């Protein structure tokens, strides 16, 4: 009982002291024009000696002397001397953020209620997780060749380092576990407050849900981990391709997609080249490489360090004597390594149609820029625009610039490039997911709606192209391309991840893939309305790519309706696509035509059916199953 009374007395005393401090008000002295603090009786408790003063909060008050802020307690003693440009309030853990300016730079630190600096004021940003008792601080760190760069580290409430600066942003914490992003490749992992890495940094996104974590791995597999970090569920997305690996090498990272480096070279556009003579004024004869292409395999040309002094090796003049060679590596269609088909080599020349590659000094290959070169075992093309490549150093040999490689030494530059590579190799991955199955009540309706020959008609290579449409005085003006580049937008919700970009569509090793149309029921009154079957339902038009055996491959686009249509032409203005079945569809990379009398097509099923009667089904044109 006595102990309880003592405890209550102490609590009351503390409350009284706090109340007394709260009763102190900042007052400006008329004579000195300085601020001090008076009690309720207007007696000076803290003499006027400040240029500015704020009310006490939690037993402390921020005051200003000659433009700089400090912190005092209720007795007027300095807790933090006036040397700061800003001082925040103390949080539950008794920590506050302070900031001082050095020129245009704001340097931040963390102080405790005793006036001690827990984190020195040398940080660019500070983030405190009050419920976890964890401090995140961004400070400059010396990096190779890029000098000082800002990275985030993790510290406990006493300022002891838990993780040295290595993160691209401040980790987010829950229940002693943090989701962190690597500053070197932009991938995510899970850490704890004891300094352990619970999940390696090889994931695209992570989100916390209660005590569990939803993880999108770098191979686009969604995994769920429970509170003990045991994997409880997985779901893989089809269409994933293991991307070109920079392997921490700045030259490899910078060279991705420069010329033929890092690009996927298929059977159609990587050929054995017979230049004949000097090759400068002749046709080049292209034939198939003696290579097991399997189905869907591809080759990448990749710069790699040369540690053996191989012929044709290229010096990186900004390194400590590093030499590079160019390997040719065969991959499965999903990006898995198969074998090195050329252990060393170099880019020998560039021409209008592609790049000449010397493979181990034994063969000459040509990497054609067109991924849909006609699939023939042998053909010839004029070797126009032939230009020898200077192999004096790695920059001239690969078409790089020194500053482009230098960016890869910068953590932020390396992260951006790694993200570009991963996402650039996998744009449109969600288009490989099957379309949602219709409900039983819709199947019969869809079967009736898709009786038109339009939905049994296969469009082949050269018949599905990019276009620009512009209504004119004489009709619809079309500018057609001989390429098919589709824009894809990939959204994941759990965990959240988004990427979008353009991808050139590959028509397969025999140019035999087909594009077909189908309908999908939607709840969108701007879509194609059923005005024939009396259902008062709405449909969107789905444009899908199929393998040469008729199996579904991916969805190229989904639109509410066809924008323009006439005999032999369907134009999807919003997608920038045209589907052509006209006999005169001989177009080049910039072919302009005018379709006379064409108006925007009504968004109705009857209008779509009427257009479809001009399209006749062909062999292999069976309608895809739902």
pLDDT digits (tens, 9 = 90+) for 478-501: 999 988 999 999 999 989 999 999
What pLDDT is recorded for position 316?
Answer: 94
Residues 472 and 460 sit within 8 Å (Cβ to Cβ): no
Residues 480 and 592 sit within 8 Å (Cβ to Cβ): yes
Q: How many CA atoms lie within 13 A of 406 on its CB side?
A: 8
Residues 145 and 406 sit within 8 Å (Cβ to Cβ): yes
What pLDDT is recorded for position 503?
Answer: 95
Preceding amide of 415 cis, omega within 30: no
Predicted TM-score (pTM) of this structure: 0.84
What pLDDT is recorded for position 232?
Answer: 84
User: Percentage helix, strand, coil, to 5, in the chain?
Assistant: 15, 45, 40
Residues 61 and 77 sit within 8 Å (Cβ to Cβ): no
Distance linking the first and last C-alpha atoms of the chain? 79
Residue 50 β-bridge partners: 35
235 vs 557 pLDDT, higher one: 557
- Cα Rg of the chain (Å, integer): 34
What pLDDT is recorded for position 299?
Answer: 98
Give the pLDDT mean for 505-514: 95
**What is the C-alpha separation between 267 and 508, in angstroms, rounded?**
9
What pLDDT is recorded for position 589?
Answer: 45
Give the pLDDT mean for 524-553: 93
Distances (CA, A) of 409 to 6, 134, 147: 63, 30, 9
Provide the token pair at 326: 């160019």
Going by pLDDT thresholds of 50, 70 and 90, the confidence category of residue 557 is very high
What pLDDT is recorded for position 583?
Answer: 56
pLDDT surpasses 70 at 536: yes
What pLDDT is recorded for position 590?
Answer: 54
Q: What is the pLDDT of residues 280-289, one digit of tens each?
A: 557 899 999 9
Q: What is the pLDDT of residues 322-356, one digit of tens each?
A: 999 999 999 999 999 999 999 999 999 999 999 99
What pLDDT is recorded for position 8?
Answer: 46
pLDDT surpasses 90 at 233: no
Total residue count of the chain as it appears in this document: 626
Residue 302 parent element (H or E): strand 298-305
pLDDT surpasses 80 at 363: yes
Average pLDDT over all residues of the chain: 90
Query: Which residue pairs from 312-315 have beta carbons closer than 8 angstroms and sit at least 24 positions apart in sequence?
Result: 312/344, 312/345, 312/346, 312/358, 312/361, 312/391, 313/344, 314/346, 314/391, 314/392, 314/393, 314/394, 314/397, 314/398, 315/392, 315/393, 315/394
pLDDT surpasses 70 at 267: yes
Distances (CA, A) of 23 to 56, 69, 113, 455, 506: 8, 22, 20, 81, 77
pLDDT surpasses 80 at 242: yes
DSSP reduced 3-state for 320: coil
**What is the C-alpha separation between 196 and 189, in angstroms, rounded?**
11
**What is the C-alpha separation between 310 and 507, in angstroms, rounded?**
37
**What is the C-alpha separation between 11 and 60, in angstroms, rounded?**
19
Give the pLDDT mean for 599-621: 78
Q: What is the pLDDT of residues 426-436, one digit of tens each?
A: 999 999 999 99
Residues 176 and 208 sit within 8 Å (Cβ to Cβ): no
**What is the C-alpha separation between 174 and 132, in angstroms, rounded?**
7
pLDDT surpasses 60 at 20: no
pLDDT surpasses 50 at 249: yes
User: Counting Cβ atoms within 10 Å, is residue 123 exposed (0-12), middle (13-18) or buried (19+)?
Assistant: buried
pLDDT surpasses 90 at 425: yes
The DSSP symbol for 561 reads S
pLDDT surpasses 70 at 48: yes
Q: What is the pLDDT of residues 518-533, one digit of tens each?
A: 999 999 999 999 998 8
Going by pLDDT thresholds of 50, 70 and 90, the confidence category of residue 16 is very low
**Spatial CB neighbours of 383, under 8 Å, sequence gap ≥ 6:** 275, 279, 280, 281, 282, 283, 284, 351
**What is the C-alpha separation between 420 and 495, in angstroms, rounded?**
20
Query: Lowest mean pLDDT: which of 234-248, 528-542, 572-586?
Result: 572-586
What pLDDT is recorded for position 533?
Answer: 85
**What is the C-alpha separation between 542 and 558, in angstroms, rounded?**
5
**What is the C-alpha separation between 102 and 99, in angstroms, rounded?**
10
**What is the C-alpha separation between 544 and 443, in angstroms, rounded?**
19
What pLDDT is recorded for position 241?
Answer: 95
Residue 337 CB neighbours (<10 A): 11
19 vs 470 pLDDT, higher one: 470
Which among 547, 544, 459, 543 is positioned nearest to 510, based on CA atoms? 547
What pLDDT is recorded for position 618?
Answer: 55
Residues 526 and 603 sit within 8 Å (Cβ to Cβ): yes
| Best-predicted range by mean pLDDT (363-367, 492-496, 605-609) | 363-367
What pLDDT is recorded for position 17?
Answer: 46
Going by pLDDT thresholds of 50, 70 and 90, the confidence category of residue 144 is confident
Residue 240 CB neighbours (<10 A): 18
Residue 292 CB neighbours (<10 A): 10
What pLDDT is recorded for position 615?
Answer: 75
What pLDDT is recorded for position 67?
Answer: 94
Per cent of the chain over pLDDT 70 is: 92
pLDDT surpasses 80 at 13: no
Dump the DSSP string for 61-84.
EEEEETTEEEEEETTS-EEEEEEE
Which among 128, 125, 87 is positioned nearest to 106, based on CA atoms? 125
User: Counting Cβ atoms within 10 Å, is residue 558 exposed (0-12), middle (13-18) or buried (19+)?
Assistant: middle
Q: What is the pLDDT of residues 116-137, one digit of tens each?
A: 999 999 999 999 987 888 999 9
Residues 557 and 577 sit within 8 Å (Cβ to Cβ): yes
What pLDDT is recorded for position 211?
Answer: 85
């Amino acid at each position: 009982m006595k102990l309880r009374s003592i405890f209550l007395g102490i609590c009351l005393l503390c409350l009284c002291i706090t109340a007394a401090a709260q009763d102190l008000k900042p007052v400006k002295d008329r004579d000195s024009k300085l601020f001090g603090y008076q009690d309720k009786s207007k007696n000076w408790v803290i003499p006027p000696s400040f240029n500015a003063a704020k009310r006490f909060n939690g037993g402390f008050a921020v005051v200003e002397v000659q433009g700089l802020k400090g912190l005092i307690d209720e007795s007027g003693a300095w807790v933090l001397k006036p040397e700061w440009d800003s001082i925040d309030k103390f949080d539950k853990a008794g920590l506050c953020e302070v900031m001082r300016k050095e020129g245009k730079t704001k340097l931040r630190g963390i102080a405790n209620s005793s006036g001690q600096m827990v984190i020195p004021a040398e940080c660019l940003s500070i983030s405190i997780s009050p419920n976890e008792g964890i401090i995140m601080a961004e400070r400059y760190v010396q990096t190779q060749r890029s000098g000082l760069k800002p990275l985030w580290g993790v510290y406990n409430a006493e300022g002891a380092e838990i993780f040295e600066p290595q993160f691209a942003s401040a980790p987010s914490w829950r229940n002693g576990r943090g989701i962190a992003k690597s500053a070197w490749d932009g991938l995510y992992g899970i850490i704890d407050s004891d300094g352990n890495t619970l999940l390696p940094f090889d994931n695209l996104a992570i989100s916390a849900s209660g005590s569990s974590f939803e993880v999108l791995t770098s191979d686009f597999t969604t995994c769920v981990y429970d509170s003990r970090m045991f994997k409880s569920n997985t779901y893989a997305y089809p269409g994933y391709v293991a991307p070109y690996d920079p392997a921490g090498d700045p030259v490899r990272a910078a060279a991705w997609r420069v010329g033929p480096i890092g690009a996927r070279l298929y059977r159609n556009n990587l050929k054995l080249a017979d230049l004949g003579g000097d090759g400068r004024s002749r046709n080049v004869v292209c034939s198939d490489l003696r290579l097991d292409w399997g189905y869907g395999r591809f080759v990448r040309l990749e710069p790699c360090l040369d540690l053996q002094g191989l012929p044709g090796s290229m010096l990186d003049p900004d390194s400590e004597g590093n030499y590079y060679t160019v390997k040719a590596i065969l991959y499965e269609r999903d990006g898995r390594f198969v074998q090195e088909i050329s252990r060393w080599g170099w880019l020998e020349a560039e021409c209008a149609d592609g790049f000449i590659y010397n493979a181990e000094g034994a063969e000459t290959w040509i990497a054609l820029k067109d991924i849909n070169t006609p699939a023939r075992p042998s053909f010839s093309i004029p070797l126009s625009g032939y230009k020898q490549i200077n192999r004096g150093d790695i920059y001239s040999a690969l078409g790089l610039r020194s500053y482009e490689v230098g960016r890869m030494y910068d953590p932020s530059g390396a992260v951006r490039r790694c993200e570009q590579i991963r996402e650039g190799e996998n744009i449109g991955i969600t288009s490989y997911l099957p379309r949602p199955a219709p409900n039983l009540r819709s199947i019969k309706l869809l079967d009736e709606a898709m009786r038109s020959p339009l939905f049994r008609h296969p469009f082949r290579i050269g018949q599905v192209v990019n276009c620009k449409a512009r209504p004119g005085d004489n009709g619809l003006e079309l500018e057609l391309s001989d390429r098919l580049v589709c824009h894809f937008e990939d959204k994941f919700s759990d965990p959240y991840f988004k990427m979008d970009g353009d991808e050139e569509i590959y028509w397969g090793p025999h140019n035999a893939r087909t594009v077909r149309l189908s309908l999908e029921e939607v709840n969108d009154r701007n879509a194609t309305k059923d005005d024939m079957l009396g259902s008062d339902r709405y449909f969107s038009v789905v444009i899908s790519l199929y393998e040469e055996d008729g199996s579904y491959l991916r969805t190229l686009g989904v639109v509410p309706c066809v924008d323009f249509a006439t005999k032999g032409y369907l134009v999807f203005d919003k997608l920038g696509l045209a589907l052509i079945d006209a006999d005169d569809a001989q177009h080049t990379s910039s072919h302009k035509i005018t379709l006379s009398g064409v108006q925007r097509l009504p968004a109705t099923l009857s209008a779509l059916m009427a257009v479809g009667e001009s399209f006749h089904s062909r062999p292999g044109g069976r309608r895809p199953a739902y």
